[in-house]
Amino acid sequence: MSGEDVEKGNEDSIKVVARFRPLNDSEERAGSKFIVTFPHSKDDSQVSIGGKVYQFDSILKPNVTQEKVYNTAARDIVKDVLNGYNGTIFAYGQTSSGKTHTMEGVIGDPNLQGIIPRIISDIFNHIYNMEENLEFHIKVSYFEIYMDKIRDLLDVSKVNLAVHEDKNRVPFVKGATERFVSSPEEVFEVIEMGKSNRHVAVTNMNEHSSRSHSVFLIQVKQENIESQKKLLGKLYLVDLAGSEKVSKTGAEGSVLDEAKNINKSLSALGNVISALADNTKTHIPYRDSKLTRILQESLGGNARTTIVICCSPASFNEAETKSTLDFGRRAKTVKNVVTVNEELTAEEWKRRYEKEKEKVTKLKAQLEKMELELGRWRAGESVSSDEQVTIDMEASSTSQQLSQILVPTTVAVDGDAAEWARERERLYQNLDEKDDEINHQSQLVEKLKEQMLEQEELISSTRRDYELLQSEMTRLTDENEKAKEEVKEVLQALEELAVNYDQKTEEVERKSKENESLSEEIVQKQTSLNSATSELQTVKDSQLHQKKRINEMLVSLLKDLNEVGTIIGTSNDAMKNLGDVEGKVEEEFTVARLYISKMRSEVKNLAQRCSTLETAQSTFRGQIDEREKELNECKLLITQHEAKMKSLSQSMKDGESKKRSLEEQVDSLNEEVARLKAVSKVSEQDGHIKEVLEKQIDEHREQHQKQLTTLRDEILEKQQQIDNLKDENQKLTVTEEQVKAEYEKLKAEVVEKTEKLNELTTIHERKEQARQDLKGLEETVAKELQTLHNLRKLFVQDLQTRVKKSASGEETDESGGSLAQKQKIQFLENNLDQLTKVHKQLVRDNADLRCELPKLEKRLRATMERVKALETALKEAKEGAMKDRKRYQQEVDRIKEAVRQKNLARRGNAAQIAKPIRAGHAPQVNHASTPVIRGGMQPYQPPAVQKRAMTSSAHMGR
Ligand code: ADP
Ligand code: MG
């Protein structure tokens, strides 16, 4: 590359390549026709659609390979970039026309991979084949533009990046993450990462990708170690959003807004291209959208640009295809001025300055001429075409470029224009600042959103915690309450027990006191009793004495009664004594009566017993009679049996004698037989006789035999009878014996009973006697009493008369005193008895209480322990609750603090904007150093991957 080239820059029109994809399945199914024709099969630059012919740098037919596409559209750019030129490739076309297929393809597939992977591989391959003294720094950025917001795909937190201009007025995405890479694989990794980030952020990827522009930027910095020459090439690889009209998708509402916005950026692109295509336009509306700003250099600036126009060949898409092709045609007319981005030395700058100065003077002259002409025009003159000033296109375009690219020159421009330019400058700056601010704000918003989410999460978790704590608290309070109640109950029980205990002890005390007092009283009583008894004794003695005297007197009185009857009144003393004795006698009489009644009842009892015994005796007698009768019967039976036995033995004897006689007969007959046999022997001749004899003998024998058998049977029968009788006899004797024993027993009993009866009768008699005696006695006593009564009456009468007669003061009151004393003693004794009873009761009570006391104490102790345990539990529960509360408080404080901080941060935005985050200052990247790639290293060994974020403002001048 010659120095002249560098100075002047190559004017180069944008390269436009049109690619037609094959009909896709749905189009084929819908019966869409392939409406594109390629008129010249040899010349690959023309395409005809609906009779309209379009001419491009190249036409890529549906069947071309990805490699061919790359070779046609992109391969040259690699060299340019490596030589320090800027390059841009972007794909334009409606959705599903093949843009992504063209740009990316299938990464990793050697056949289907698109332009981007191929370019990356190619760049590295070129570097590997270059001179050794060259050093390369390659960095990549990846972002998308959606709704005119730049979203960093390598850092999801950067959602709205701003576009700034560097010192050379070249726009760049400020703050975009830049990754240093040293091998294609690393680049692919970065791309993968960016794509996955893009997927994460959206719900419908297809829709999203059709509405957003994705921009992949590769920056290659090259340094010649020997000559220190530095070159920088920037390559934009852009997959644009679908270019279709909104109406077609039928979008509405926010989707419509979105589509409009997308279309806005695309229409801005169209406008820029139209403006660039129109030579007369001096203002290019790059600033209308972020997309056009980013692509500013690529469109009519310092860049080699290739546009791949992607089209569907289907009849259904004809209109879109045509408008796409129109866009391409317009773009084709845009001319870029391409220069190498080289860092210039001061001399170089000076030289260029001189040159530019020359140009400026030339232009000034031209301007003057024009002003003159203008003056004439304004004055109403008409200027002939010969006189009209012709504009030097080269100079003007250069000046345009200068105004865009170069540092402010010293060229003097007319006041107005300069003012305008300054104004514009100021406004742009303002705009940039605003952009910056917006970016900053949106980032802040994003951060805040994140924070909000975090906070919300925190709050919800805290709420959950809080709820948990609340429930725990309620549980604890419940428990607490329960425990309290229990404690209360226990305390109540305790109190009750204590009260009980107190009562009991009181009672015990009282009782013991009472006891004491009672025992004291008892002692007192005892003493009084003693005294009373002694008194009693004395009284008794005196009474005895008196009794004796009374008796004596009574005897004498009784003796004398008859004779003394009339002379009673003679002795006053005797009369007095008789009156005293009367009560005593009466008492004794009552005692005697009591005895008598007792005796009577006893006698009655005895009489009853007597009668029962008599009845028993009579029954026994009856029984005895019965037994005797039975016995007699038995005796009779026995005698009968004995008689029978006797007759039987007689008959037996008869039988025996019969038998004996029969045997004798047999013997005699046998003898006869023998004799006859002898006779027969003697006279054997006489057969007849013999026969007769024999016959006779046989008859006899038979008779005899018969008789014998009958006799034998008889004997047997008799024998049996005898046996039976014997048995019966035995039985009878046994029963007789029994009956006899019974009889004996009964006899003994009877004897006994009779004895008893005799005794009782004697007793009875005695009793009867006693009763009669008693009756007599009673009668006598009654008589005597009667007489006594009479006597008393007489006495009393006499006494009364006497009393009436005599003076009243002579009588003593002995008997009355003794009665009172007796009553007193009686009373005291009763009292004593009661007291002793009470004392015993008290002692028993005391013992009971003493028994109960340890039990109560034990219970008390258990209760105390329970109370203690409950108290400790309560304390623990309280402590737990306090802890929980503290924890909760802390948590709440923490949240409050966080919220406060957040609010502060919101308020303090202005402060944060004061030190905006600049790219390169970004702390997020862990790259320690820039990977350095040198040419001529083959095979290339990627150095240990060490990446570092670098400020993107490190641009080189042109
Ligand atoms: P866009 O990015 O423009 O919306 P895509 O690149 O996603 O379109 O293409 C849509 C579909 O068509 C994809 O499945 C892709 O593989 C296919 N496609 C596009 N161009 C071609 C081609 N030239 N040859 C074969 N298939 C293609
Ligand atoms: Mg796509």
Known binding residue 245? Answer is no
CB-CB contact of 339 with 303 (8 Å): no
CA of 213 to the centre of ligand 2 (A): 9
Does ligand 1 lie within 6 Å of residue 405's CB atom?
no
Look at ligand 1, atom 20, and give the residue with the nearest C-alpha. 98
User: Please, which pLDDT band fits residue 691 given cuts at 50, 70 and 90?
Assistant: confident
| Alpha carbons 344 and 353: distance in angstroms, whole number | 12
Q: Select the more confidently predicted residue: 913 or 932.
A: 932
Residue 641 is predicted with a pLDDT of 84
- Cα separation, 165 vs 339, whole angstroms: 18
As given in the structure block, the two tokens for residue 868 are 């203690």
Q: Which atom of ligand 1 is nearest to the CA of 19?
A: 23
Ligand nearest to the CA of 65: 1
String of DSSP letters for 877-946: HHHHHHHHHHHHHHHHHHHHHHHHHHHHHHHTHHHHHTSPPPTTT-TT----S---EETT-SS--PPP--
Tell the residue number behind the tokens 């030395």, with chain if given: 345
Alpha carbon of 106 to ligand 2 centroid (Å): 12
Instruction: List C-alpha distances in Å: 614 to 571, 585, 609, 619, 743.
Output: 61, 42, 9, 9, 20
Confidence class for position 949, pLDDT limits 50, 70, 90: very low
Q: Does ligand 1 come within 6 angstroms of the Cβ of 24?
A: yes
Q: Is the pLDDT of residue 54 over 70?
A: yes
Provide the strand spans (E) within 61-122.
87-93
Whether 238 lines ligand 1, by a CB cut-off of 6 Å, is no
Q: Are 609 and 761 in contact (CB under 8 A)?
A: no
CA 872 to chain centre: 27
Q: Mind listing the pLDDT tens digit for each residue in 754-787? A: 888 888 888 888 888 878 887 887 787 778 778 8
With a cut of 70, say whether residue 292 has pLDDT above it: yes
Q: How many helices (H) and strands (E) does the chain have?
A: 19, 17
Ligand 1: residue whose CA is nearest its atom 11: 96
Nearest to 255 by CA among 204, 318, 197, 198: 204
Residue 560 CA: distances (Å) to CA of 583, 777, 780, 847: 21, 21, 18, 67
pLDDT bucket at 518, cuts 50 / 70 / 90: confident
Q: Crossing angle, helix 814-907 and helix 415-564, to 10 degrees?
A: 170
Confidence of residue 848 (pLDDT cuts 50, 70, 90): confident
Q: Which atom of ligand 1 is nearest to the CA of 104?
A: 6
pLDDT bin (cut points 50, 70, 90) of residue 99 is: very high
Question: For position 258, what pLDDT does the model report?
Answer: 62
Q: Of all helices (H) and strands (E), which one includes residue 633? A: helix 572-682
Q: Which of 297-311, 401-415, 505-519, 843-857 has the lowest mean pLDDT?
A: 401-415
Of residues 227 and 161, more confidently modeled: 161
**Residue 686 vs residue 632, higher pLDDT:** 632
pLDDT at 429: 82
pLDDT band at residue 147 using 50, 70 and 90 as cut-offs = confident
Q: What is the pLDDT of residue 909?
A: 38
Ligand 1, residue 239: give the atom nearest the CA. Answer: 2
* Residue 559 annotated as part of some ligand binding site: no
pLDDT of residue 956 exceeding 60, the answer is no
Q: Indicate if ligand 1 lies below 6 Å from the C-beta of 299.
A: no
User: Does position 417 have pLDDT exceeding 60, yes or no?
Assistant: yes
pLDDT at 413: 45
Sequence-distant (≥ 6) Cβ neighbours of residue 16 within 8 angstroms: 56, 57, 306, 307, 309, 328, 329, 331, 332
DSSP element (H, E) containing 173:
strand 171-174
The string of DSSP letters for 174-203 reads: ET---EEESSHHHHHHHHHHHHHHHHHH-S
pLDDT surpasses 90 at 445: no
CA of 22 to the centre of ligand 1 (A): 9
Q: What is the mean pLDDT of the chain?
A: 79
Q: Write out pLDDT tens, residues 559-583.
A: 766 675 555 555 555 555 555 666 7
Binding residue per annotation — 96?
yes
Residue 242, annotated as binding a ligand:
no
**Is residue 214 in contact with ligand 1, taking CB distance under 6 Å?**
no
Per-residue confidence at 942, pLDDT binned at 50, 70, 90? very low
58: annotated binding-site residue? Answer: no
Average pLDDT over residues 127-148: 90
Rounded to the nearest 10 degrees, the angle between the axes of helix 415-564 and helix 572-682 is: 100
Residue 611 known to bind ligand: no
* Residue at 903: amino acid letter: N
The answer to which of 348-352, 690-694, 701-705, 772-776 has the lowest mean pLDDT is 690-694
Q: Which atom of ligand 1 is nearest to the CA of 60?
A: 23
Summarize pLDDT for 594-609 with one digit per residue, the tens. 887 888 888 788 888 8
Nearest-CA residue for ligand 1 atom 16 is 101
DSSP 161: B
> Separation of 316 CA from ligand 1 center, angstroms?
16
Q: Is the pLDDT of residue 253 over 70?
A: no
655 marked ligand binding residue: no
Which listed ligand is nearest to 95 at the C-alpha?
A: 1
| Range picked from 33-37, 250-254, 945-949 for highest mean pLDDT | 33-37
In this structure, which amino acid lies at residue 56?
F
Please determine, for residue 799, whether its predicted confidence score (pLDDT) is greater than 80. no
Residue of 27, 32, 96 best suited for mutating to test ligand 1, as the one with most atoms within 8 Å of CB: 96
Q: Is 210 in the pocket of ligand 1 (CB under 6 A)?
A: yes
Over 50: is that where the pLDDT of 948 sits?
no
Written as one letter, the residue type at 346 is A
Ligand nearest to the CA of 66: 1
By C-alpha distance, which of 452, 297, 275 is closest to 906? 452
User: What separation in Å is there between the alpha carbon of 321 and the centre of ligand 1?
Assistant: 15
State whether the beta carbon of 100 lies less than 6 angstroms from ligand 1.
yes
pLDDT value at 455 more than 60 = yes
DSSP notation for 696-711: HHHHHHHHHHHHHHHH
Averaged over 905-919, what is the pLDDT? 31
Relative to the CA of 24, which ligand 1 atom is closest?
Answer: 12
Report pLDDT digits (tens) over 650-677. Answer: 888 888 888 888 888 888 888 888 888 8
All structural domains of the chain with their residue ranges: 10-343
Determine the distance separating the centroid of ligand 1 and the alpha carbon of 23, expressed in angstroms.
10
The CATH-assigned architecture of domain 10-343 is: 3-Layer(aba) Sandwich (3.40)
- Ligand nearest to the CA of residue 69, numbered in listed order: 1
Q: Quick check: CB of 61 below 6 Å from ligand 1?
A: no
98 Cβ below 6 A of ligand 1: yes
Choosing from 21, 214, 266, 321 the residue with most ligand 1 atoms within 8 A of its CB, the one to mutate for a pocket test is 21
- CB 211 near ligand 1, within 6 Å: no
Supply the pTM of this predicted model: 0.47
Q: Ligand 2 is a single-atom ion; what residues have CB below 5 A from it? A: 99-100, 209
CA 28 to ligand 1 center in whole angstroms = 15
Give the residue, by CA position, lying nearest to ligand 1 atom 18: 98
The alpha carbon of 16 and the centre of ligand 1 are apart by a number of angstroms equal to 19
At residue 185, the pLDDT reads: 93
307 Cα to the center of ligand 2, angstroms: 15
Highest mean pLDDT, choosing among 133-142, 367-376, 537-546, 791-800:
133-142
Residue nearest to atom 19 of ligand 1 (CA): 98
Q: Is the peptide bond before 62 cis (omega within 30 degrees of 0)?
A: no
Distances (CA, A) of 180 to 106, 193, 519: 24, 14, 118
Rounded average pLDDT over 688-711? 82
- Report pLDDT for 208: 83
312 CA to middle of ligand 2, Å? 13
597 is in an annotated binding site: no
Instruction: Kindly give the distance from the C-alpha atom of residue 312 to the centroid of ligand 1, in angstroms, as a whole number.
Output: 9
Pick the range with the lowest mean pLDDT from 200-204, 619-623, 735-739, 863-867.
200-204
CA of 113 to the centre of ligand 1 (A): 12
For ligand 1, atom 17, which residue shows the shortest CA distance?
Answer: 98
Pick the residue whose CA is nearest to atom 10 on ligand 1: 96
Residue 633 confidence class, pLDDT cut points 50, 70, 90: confident
Instruction: Report which ligand 1 atom has the smallest distance to the Cα of 94.
Output: 3
Is pLDDT of 184 > 90? yes
Average pLDDT over residues 214-230: 90
Alpha carbon distance 453, 444 (integer Å):
14
Among all bound ligands, the one having the nearest atom to the CA of 209 is 2
Name the residue of 101, 205, 212, 240 whose CB sits within 8 Å of the most ligand 1 atoms, as the mutation to test its pocket.
Answer: 101
3-state secondary structure of 166: coil
